Structure 1
Amino acid sequence: MTQSAAACQGPQPSNLALFRQRLPRKPYHTDRFGDGLRIRDVQKALTSRYIQFNGPTHCYWLVYDIDRNGAVLDWYDRGAPPPTIVAQNPDNGHAHLIYGLEVPVRTAPDGKSGPLRYAAAVDCALRDVLGADIGYAGLVCKNPLHPHWRVTEWETRLYTLGDLDSWLDLNSYSDRRKRLPDYGLGRNCTLFEKLRLWAYKAIRQGWPDADRWYEAVLTRARAYNDFESPLPENEVRATAKSVARYTHKHFSPAGFSAVQASRGRKKGKTRRELLLPEVERLLAEGAGYREIGRVLGIDHRTIGRWVARIKS
Structure 2
Amino acid sequence: MHNAALALFNDRLPYKPYFSDDLHFGVRIAGKERAILAKYIQFNQPHAMFWLGFDVDRAGAAIDWSDRNAPAPTLTITNPDNGHAHLLYALKTSIRTALDGKMKPLRYAAAVENALRKKLEADAGYSGLICKNPNHDHWKIAVWQPELYTLDWLADFLDLNAASDKEIVADYGLGRNCTLFDKTRKWAYRAIRQGWPEYDKWLKACCERASAYNLQFTAPLDQNEVSSIAKSIAKWTNIKITKSSFEEYVEKTHTPDIQSLRGKKSKGGGRPFNSESLTSKKPWLSMGISRSTYYRQLRACEPV
Name the TM tier (shorter chain).
Answer: 0.7 to 0.9
On the 8 A contact 1:124/1:181 being kept in 2, the answer is no
Match of 1:29 among 9, 12, 19: 19
Contact 2:112 2:162 in 1 (8 A): no
1:158 Cα deviation after fit: 0.5
Q: Pick from 194, 204, 221: which aligns with 1:215?
A: 204
- Structure 1 portions without partners, runs of 5+: 1-12, 286-290, 305-312
Higher mean displacement: 59-68 or 208-217:
208-217
Match of 1:204 among 193, 206, 211: 193
Aligned equivalents of 1:283, 1:295: Cα separation in 2: 20
2:263–2:270 Cα contact (<8 Å) kept: no
Alignment of 1:190-269 (within 5 A): 190-225=179-214, 226-264=216-254, 268=257
Aligned to 1:74: 64
| TM-score, structure 2 as length reference | 0.85
Q: Which residue of 2 is the match for residue 10 of structure 1?
A: none
Question: Which structure has the bigger radius of gyration?
Answer: 1
2:143 maps to what in 1? 153
Deviation of the 1:296 alpha carbon:
6.6
Distance change (3 Å), C-alpha of 1:181 and 1:174: farther
Do the aligned residues in 1 keep the contact of 2:74 with 2:146 (CA within 8 Å)?
Answer: yes
State whether structure 2 residue 46 is matched by structure 1 residue 60.
no
Aligned residue in 2 for 1:283 = 269
Q: CA deviation at 1:82?
A: 0.1
2-structure distance, mates of 1:198, 1:262: 23
SS at match of 2:225: helix
How many residue pairs end up in the alignment? 282
* Structure-1 separation of matches of 2:51 and 2:111: 15
Tell me: CA distance 1:282–1:33, structure 2 relative to 1, closer, same or farther (3 Å).
farther
Matching residue of 2:6: 16
Aligned-CA RMSD value: 2.5
Report the TM-score, using the length of structure 1 for normalisation. Answer: 0.83
Does the CA contact (< 8 Å) of 1:121 and 1:170 recur in 2?
A: no
Q: Percent identity?
A: 47
Tell me the SS of whatever aligns to 2:269. helix
Alignment-derived partner of residue 127 in structure 1: 117
Confirm whether residue 272 of structure 1 aligns to residue 260 of structure 2: yes
Q: Describe the shift of the 1:260–1:86 C-alpha distance in structure 2 as closer, same or farther (beyond 3 A).
A: same
CA distance in 1, matches of 2:257, 2:90: 53
Tell me the amino acid that sits aligned with residue 90 of structure 1.
P
Question: 2:92 corresponds to which letter in structure 1?
Answer: E
Q: Is the 8 A contact 1:214 1:241 kept in 2?
A: yes
